[in-house]
Amino acid sequence: MDLGEIARYQVEFDRKHGWDWSNLEGGERINALNYLAVALAGEVGEFCNIVKKITRKYRSLGEPPSGREIDELYGELVDVFIYIIKGSAEIFKKDLGEAYLKKMRENEERFKEFREKRPR
Ligand SMILES: [Mg+2]
């Protein structure tokens, strides 16, 4: 499934549940943007909290993360992705794949001095 298909799936999912932000204007659009910011920060916070617990366990007991912890961590990364897809499709109405490629072309130029200069 490519990013366009994922975005359409997300919009359809949100439409079915009454959460579609695609046609909001003015204050309602600002409220959706506010919700998006809070939701993204919340999901990043959930991700970071699991990293905190993994780090604490490793530092205190020398135990690496369990498979369950890695699965939970990845689940939070997916939650972040869902809000990125939702915000991109419904608030910004942008093609995330296209924006990603444009940004990566900019990064190729921006970070060109670091190419092949990694210490070995
Ligand atoms: Mg979550």
pLDDT at 120 over 80: no
Ligand 1 centroid from CA 46, angstroms = 6
Q: How far is the CA of 34 from the centre of ligand 1 (A)?
A: 18
Ligand 1 centroid distance, CA of 42 (Å) = 8
Over range 10-35, report the average pLDDT: 97
Question: What is the pTM for the complete model shown?
Answer: 0.91
Distance, CA of 80 to CA of 100 (rounded, Å): 16
> Has residue 118 got a pLDDT over 80?
no
Domains located in the chain, CATH noted: 3-114 (1.10.287.1080)
State in Å: Cα 5 to ligand 1 middle: 22
**Ligand 1 mean position, distance from CA 76 (Å):** 5
Distance in Å, CA 91 to ligand 1 centroid: 21
Residue 117: pLDDT above 80?
no
pLDDT in tens, 81-111: 999 999 999 999 999 999 999 999 999 999 9
Average the pLDDT over 41-50 and give the result.
98
Question: CA–CA distance from 36 to each of 33, 39, 43 (Å)?
Answer: 5, 5, 10
Average pLDDT for the chain: 96
**Residue 23: band (very low, low, confident or very high) from pLDDT cuts 50, 70, 90:** very high
pLDDT at site 68: 98
Average pLDDT over residues 31-60: 98
Sign of the dihedral defined by the CA atoms of residues 45, 47, 53, 56, in that order: negative
